[in-house]
Structures are given as structure tokens and as C-alpha cells.
Amino acid sequence: MSVTDALAGWPSALDAEIAPRILIVTDHTNLARAIEHHISIIWPDATCRVHTPRISGQLHSAFTGMGFDAVVLDDAVDGGVGMSWFENLMHRPGFPPVVYLAPGDDAGLAENMRLRGAADCLVREKIDNRRLDSVLRASVLKRRQERALLRGSPRTREDSRFGGVTILGHRFARQLAAGGTSMVYLAESERAGDMVVLKVLREAADAADAHINFANFLQEYDLISKIRHPNVVRIYDLGLADDHAFISMEYFSRGDLRAQIALLDDPQAALALLLQIAHALDVVHCVGVLHRDLKPGNIMLRADGSLALIDFGLARQFNAQAQTTGIGQIFGTPYYMSPEQGHGQVLDARSDLYSLGVIFHEMLTHRKPFVAPTPLGVIYMHANAPLPLLEGELRRFQPLLDRLLAKQPENRFSSAAELAGTVDDYIKGLR
């Protein structure tokens, strides 16, 4: 199968005229719903995204709103600092037109806001729907005209360069990492309307020795894109640019679980995190996928505190595992490997649960359960060393930890769903 055939049917961010997309910045749910309802009357197919600063924090400093046609900004946002938000947004290059919702009917303030760059300024407490209709229509038209002029400009192409690859519909922010087979960037995505992580395959997809890596890219997208769950990373796009494959996926502003573990001092908080990861593994395993590289660095934190699994580069479908991973081959991170994974044996869902047990021990004690001078030494300890014993008040979690870290898979929890039920019981018992 050729690369063109492989990508046939995959969506593109630039395929067709996109329905209007409006960003609403407010902390007030009722106000957001009212604006969304009004916009749906103007454009039934419009898309609204609500950004809630008290939950999600500031917009990323590199965010320019390239995926939106207009922005509605609430003066009462973030504890009443809407004016500071407005000033910040006006300094971002190419930001969409902003409709400002001001407190009270102050003609002087409204005129001042328009002079400072607002598309219009409306009374927050009693929005004039006809005026909102008119200004949004004018803003969308203006935005579409501006974007049409910039679409093929040298500046746009330069902003869309990621190393030696041009990926239109994405704007370069910075490089995040460089791996053996791929480069990883922070970018702004027009399609996602947000900051994303852009993973770009190093080799050209048509290179003679690159078909395996390209196939793995397709597999990684295919595996994750079928999953819709709050504790699994969102995948936005797969594409081919300058003969290089790329995946566009969710960006996590708070980083990974490693930093969070260092701050944990409450067993109940550790249980709550364990429960989220168990739910993620449950949905992943239910579609027939093993993660095989579960570790704190592959568990990310969103701004609202929720967790999400990432990096399915080593993932395998249960029924394909024997064909794609030969017996005796070892993949993963030694500190978090199950005994059977460390010895290259056939794996099932209980191997991921063992890795989660290692993470749980680390969350409770801030230490890894098995440490040795060499990777092979760590692998040996997973299979042969006695199970670690918890001390003090943590002893109550010893039965839970023992089942997760059992040497033999049959002595562990049978599934992530069973684990989640047990963890839920522990949480209820601590209340």
C-alpha cells in the first residue's frame, strides 16, 4: 500500500470551508450558554469553545487564536480582570476580532474599548442580541478575508516550518524534544483551535527504510483516535507534509505526573490519581490495546487536574502482539516493567496493571519499589525480589499494592475495571 493510499480518507485541516468558530472567555456558565444559544441562531453549524480561566487558567502565551473567527470576552473573567485580558489579547499577532462584554451601559467606556481595538463593546448584563448578531457577522467576514490573504503568504509558510517540513494549518511555537525516529514540537493548530503537540517523523515516508516507522505512526494514530475518554490523550490530526508523516495531539500545560508525585503527601490524593489511571487503562484494554510503557512520564496533567495517558508508540493490540513482537524482545522502561515483560514473555492487560502498581508505590512513598545499578538488575528484582513493605499509616494499602505487584499475572487484579472498583472502595473507606 502506498503512502497516498494509506492516507486516503484522513481529514485535513484545510479541506473545506469551516463553519464559524467562536471563542467565549468567561467564568460564568449561564452567560456562556446564552451566548452559545444566540450564536446557534445565527449559524446553526457554528462551533463555540468556552475557555474558563478559573479552571483552565491563562491562555498559553503562544496562542494567537488562529483557529477562531471571533472572540467574546467577559469583563468579569478571572475575578474581574477582563480589561487585563483584553490588553494581553490585543498584543498577540493576528488575534481574531474581540467583542467585549462590559459592566453597565457606559458609552464612554464602549467608545474607548473600540478605539483600543475591540470589534465592539456590549453591556454584559443585558446583551443587545441584534447588535451582537451584527458585530459577529462583520467580525467573521473580516477574519475570513484576512486569513484568505495570508493563507499562501511567505510569512504563513515560514510560521508553518517545523525543521525542514512545512505543515500548513499549524504555527510553530518551539521544539519540545528530538527522538530517534521523530521530532516533537509545540504548535498552534488551526483545526484544533488550541496549542498542540506535533510529532513529525524524521524520515520521508517514501524512503526505502522508513515504511516500518510510517506504519507505526499510522498504528499509533489508529489506536488512540478510536478512544474517546477524558483520561486518554486526544488526537486531532494525522497528515503528510513534504513526504513526512505527522500526528497532532493534545498539549498538556501542567506537564507529566513526575512533578506531581514529588508534591504528593496525601494517600487519598494518590488513590484518586490511581483511580483515574485505572479508568484510562480500562477503556484502552476494552478496545484490545496494551500500553506497554506505562510510567509517570507518560501520564499527563490537564489544567483542571485530570490525568490522561499518552505515548502509545509501544502499544500493541492483543491479537497482533505475537506477530509484531517476537518472544524474547524487550520494550519499555525497566523501572516499571512487569516480570513477564522484562523477560520478553507474552503480555496481557495484567502487565499494565503491574506497571501501575509501581507508579502507585512511587506515589505513596516517593520511591521506586525496585532499584539496582543496572537495567538488568532492576529486571531481575521485578521477578525475584520480595514485595516492598509499606510503613506506618500506609500499611492499610499493602493488600492493594501486593495484588498489583504480584510476580505471577494470575495473582493480580484480573482487569483494570476490577482494580477501579477496589480503589473506589478504598476511597469511600477513607471518607
The set of residues, in sequence order, having a beta carbon less than 8 Å from that of 133 and lying 6+ positions away, is 38, 42
Domain 257-430 matching CATH 1.10.510.10: the answer reads yes
Query: Cα(134)–Cα(94) distance, rounded to whole angstroms?
Result: 22
210 band by pLDDT with thresholds 50, 70 and 90: low
Q: Is the pLDDT of residue 29 over 50?
A: yes
pLDDT per residue over 365-390, tens digit each? 999 999 999 999 999 999 999 999 99
Radius of gyration for the alpha carbons in the chain, expressed in angstroms and rounded:
25
Query: Cα(394)–Cα(410) distance, rounded to whole angstroms?
Result: 25
The residue with greater pLDDT, 239 or 218, is 239
Place of cell 496562542: 63
The residue with greater pLDDT, 4 or 151, is 151
218 band by pLDDT with thresholds 50, 70 and 90: confident
Cite the active site residues.
Answer: 293
- CATH value of 160-250 in 3.30.200.20, 2.30.30.40, 2.40.50.140, 3.40.50.180: 3.30.200.20
16 band by pLDDT with thresholds 50, 70 and 90: very low
End-to-end CA gap in the chain: 56
Q: Is the pLDDT of residue 7 over 60?
A: no
pLDDT per residue over 400-427, tens digit each? 999 999 999 999 999 999 999 999 999 9
Query: Cα(282)–Cα(100) distance, rounded to whole angstroms?
Result: 44
- The topology under which CATH files domain 21-150 is Rossmann fold (3.40.50)
For residue 392 the three cell numbers come to 506506618
pLDDT per residue over 317-374, tens digit each? 554 444 334 444 445 589 999 999 999 888 999 999 999 999 999 999 999 999 999 9
pLDDT per residue over 39-77, tens digit each? 999 999 999 999 999 999 999 999 999 999 999 999 999
Output the pLDDT for position 270.
96
Query: Cα(134)–Cα(50) distance, rounded to whole angstroms?
Result: 21
Burial 9-38 (b: 16+ CB within 10 A, else e): eeeebeeeeeebbbbbbbbbeebbeebbee
- Domain ranges for the chain, please list them: 21-150, 160-250, 257-430
Comparing C-alpha atoms, which of 416, 422, 414 is closest to residue 397? 422
Output the pLDDT for position 150.
86
Query: Cα(126)–Cα(334) distance, rounded to whole angstroms?
Result: 61
Output the pLDDT for position 2.
39
pLDDT per residue over 109-163, tens digit each? 999 999 999 999 999 999 999 999 999 999 999 999 998 888 878 989 999 999 9
Output the pLDDT for position 313.
62
Q: Is the pLDDT of residue 12 over 50?
A: no
CB atoms within 10 A of CB 426: 17
Element (H, E) at 197: strand 194-201
Q: Is the pLDDT of residue 239 over 90?
A: no
Query: Under a CB-based contact definition with an 8 Å cutoff, are residues 289 and 316 in contact?
Result: yes
Place of cell 513534504: 242
What is the 8-class DSSP label of residue 47?
E
206 band by pLDDT with thresholds 50, 70 and 90: low
Comparing C-alpha atoms, which of 359, 199, 196, 221 is closest to residue 289? 221
Output the pLDDT for position 207.
57
